[in-house]
Amino acid sequence: MRDHDLVDVATGVLVERYRLDVEQASVMLAAMAAGDGRAVGEYAVTLLEPRDPAVTGTDGDEPASVRRAVEFIDANAHRVVSTGEIARAAHIGPRGLQASFKRHRGQTPFEYLREVRFGGAHRDLVAGDPGRGSTVGEIAARWQFTNAGRFSVEYRQRHGCSPSSTLRRAPQDDGAMPRTATEVRARARLARQQAKLRPRRRPSRPSSGR
């Protein structure tokens, strides 16, 4: 990790620890480094040691800045978001956010955002109904996948089947029209079997007049 990334993450640590804004935390970090007789980048390394509770949190939990970023992404994955928006929601600089997210989650914020979007698209495909207008393209666009072809390729890599297959397997309402010839034949057989099981009504005899 480069020195300026370490400095950004260390600044975020001080923001969390002392409830400062970014500018105040930067000044404080520089003063702490000077007081220790070290360069800011060198001091940042010490501050970010895993044993420091400001970085790992209680019992090794993620720092609050990463948790806030995750919460923001989860709530806004359906719309266009920028790194700057996520960083502002996390109360940390963009470079610090990138470095901290990578350190604690092993991925970038946008890699996590993509995972959330694919999860949302998969749920919508499972719940969708082509008979009521659901399409792969519409669901993909709903989760900000603007290229349906690339979406389908990556979806297959993640789930082992195409998104159209997932959509076709989605449950129907009992009264919905059958989607395939196989379903038409199956419903016809079921109707014949049910007809055989129904008790037949005996014709009523005409009453004799007196």
Q: Which structural domain, as residue segments, surrounds residue 100?
A: 3-106
Domain shared by 99 and 119, yes or no: no
pLDDT of residue 16: 66
Domain shared by 156 and 93, yes or no: no
Q: Chain-centre distance of CA 38, in angstroms?
A: 42
User: Does 206 score more than 50 pLDDT?
Assistant: yes
Q: How many residues does the chain have?
A: 210
Question: Does any domain span residue 182?
Answer: no
User: How far is 71 from 74, CA to CA, in rounded Å?
Assistant: 5
Domain shared by 31 and 88, yes or no: yes
Domain shared by 23 and 50, yes or no: yes
Question: Does any domain span residue 198?
Answer: no
Domain shared by 73 and 126, yes or no: no
Q: Chain-centre distance of CA 52, in angstroms?
A: 30
Question: Does any domain span residue 190?
Answer: no
Q: Are 118 and 155 in contact (CB under 8 A)?
A: yes
Q: The domain spanning residue 131 has which CATH number?
A: 1.10.10.60
Question: Does any domain span residue 38?
Answer: yes
Question: Does any domain span residue 203?
Answer: no
DSSP 3-state assignment of 81? coil
User: Does 60 score more than 80 pLDDT?
Assistant: no
Q: pTM of this prediction?
A: 0.56
Question: Does any domain span residue 202?
Answer: no
User: Does 51 score more than 50 pLDDT?
Assistant: no
Domain shared by 134 and 40, yes or no: no
Percent of the chain past pLDDT 70, that is, above it, reads 64
Instruction: Tell me the mean pLDDT in the region 163-190.
Output: 59
User: Does 6 score more than 80 pLDDT?
Assistant: no
Residue of 85, 79, 144 whose CA lies nearest to 118: 144
DSSP 3-state assignment of 202? coil
User: Does 8 score more than 60 pLDDT?
Assistant: yes
Domain shared by 74 and 136, yes or no: no
Domain shared by 145 and 52, yes or no: no
Domain shared by 119 and 66, yes or no: no
**50 vs 86, higher pLDDT:** 86
Question: Does any domain span residue 187?
Answer: no
Q: Count of domains in the chain? A: 2
Contacts of residue 100, defined as CB under 8 A and 6 or more positions apart, other chains included, come to: 9, 12, 63, 65, 66, 92
Query: pLDDT tens-digit profile of 113-122?
Result: 999 999 889 8
- Which of 85, 106, 127 lies at the terminal end of a domain, its last residue? 106
Query: pLDDT tens-digit profile of 103-160?
Result: 888 889 999 999 999 988 988 898 888 888 889 999 999 999 999 899 999 999 888 8
Using alpha carbons only, give the angle 18, 21, 26 rounded to the nearest 5 degrees.
Answer: 85
Domain shared by 71 and 152, yes or no: no
Q: Are 179 and 130 in contact (CB under 8 A)?
A: yes
Domain shared by 40 and 9, yes or no: yes
Domain shared by 27 and 50, yes or no: yes
pLDDT of residue 54: 41
pLDDT of residue 164: 92
Question: Does any domain span residue 192?
Answer: no
Query: pLDDT tens-digit profile of 75-105?
Result: 999 999 999 999 999 988 888 888 888 888 8
